[in-house]
Amino acid sequence: MVLGLLLLTLALTYRGADFYLKDLQARVDHPDFRALSPAGPIGQLYGIVGTALILTNLLYMVRRRYARVHLGSMRTWLDIHVITGLFGTLLVMFHSAFQLRSGIATLTAASLAVVVVTGIIGRYFYAISPRKDDRRMQAALQEVQDLWPGLAEALRELESRQQPPARPHSPGLLATLMTLPAWFRQARSRRSEIRILGQHAIASVPLVADDAARWSAKLEHIARLKAAEVKAAAGTHLLKTWRGLHRLTALLMVVAVILHVAIALYFGFGWSPSG
C-alpha cells in the first residue's frame, strides 16, 4: 500500500509538478492550466476517481452492519477501507491542484482531512489493541494441569472478584479515554495476582530448580494472556467509541462532497475528455 501510494504520488507529481509549483496567477498562463486545473478534464478525472474510491470506502460501514453475513473477513474489508480511503484522498488533493478557492471546497477538504486523520488513528488503535485468544489460553491451561489441576477454577474465582471498570452512561470519547487507566490498573492487578497464585502452587510441589523455572515461565505466560484479555476489553470499548466519531465525520464528509459536486454541476463544470 505504501509503495502504491508513493508510486502514484510520483506519477501525478511528474505529470504536473511545474504547474502545481506556480502561484495562482502564473498558473493561468501555464500550458497545463486547462488540463490540470480543478475544472480541467484531467483535474476533474482525478476528482471523479478519488470520490468514487472514497464512496467505495464507505461500504465498510455497511459490511460492519451485516458482520454475520459471509462476504469476506472483516480484516480484509478493513484493509480495503484503508487503501481506498488513502488513494481516494491523494487523488482528491491533486484534483484540487492544492488550492482552495471557495467555501465549499474548503469545507470538503477539511471534512476529508478530519475523516482521514480519525481513520488513521482508529486503525492504529486497532493494530495495537490486544486480542482475546481463547485457543492460546486453553492450550496454556492444558499444559499446567498436571502441576495445578484447579487452575481454571482459581482463575474464574479471581475474575469474579475483579469487576470491570464502570463504563460511563453516555460513552463519549473523553469519558471513554478517562476509563482507560482503570482498565490498565486491572490488567496489572490480574497479572500480579496470577503470579502470586502460581508462586504458591510451585512452592507446594517439590520441584528441582529447572522444573520450577519451567513451570514459572508457563504460569507467567498465562498471567500475560489474562492481562491481555482485560486490555482487549478496553481496546474494544475505545474502538467502539472512536468508530462512532469516525462514522459521524464520514457522514458529514459525504454531505460536503455531495454539495461540492452539485454546485460544480450547477455551474456547468461537467466532465468531458476534451474539457
What's the grid cell of residue 136? 492460546
Torsion over CA: 225, 227, 231, 236 (sign): positive
- 100-114, 210-224, 251-265 — which is least confidently predicted? 210-224
Domain extents in the chain: 2-130+243-266, 134-241
Q: How high is the mean pLDDT of the chain?
A: 84
Instruction: Please give the DSSP secondary-structure letter assigned to residue 22.
Output: S
Q: Which candidate, 49, 58, 44, places its Cα nearest to that of 8? A: 49
pLDDT average, residue stretch 8-17: 95
Q: What is the pLDDT of residue 26?
A: 93
Residue 102: which residues within 8 A CB-CB, separation 6 or more? none
Residue 76 identity (one-letter amino acid): T
The pTM (predicted TM-score) of the whole model is 0.74
pLDDT average, residue stretch 173-178: 77
At 119-166, the pLDDT tens digits run 888 888 777 776 767 788 788 777 777 667 777 777 777 777 766 666
Residue 185: which residues within 8 A CB-CB, separation 6 or more? none
Residue 47: which residues within 8 A CB-CB, separation 6 or more? 38, 91, 92, 95, 96
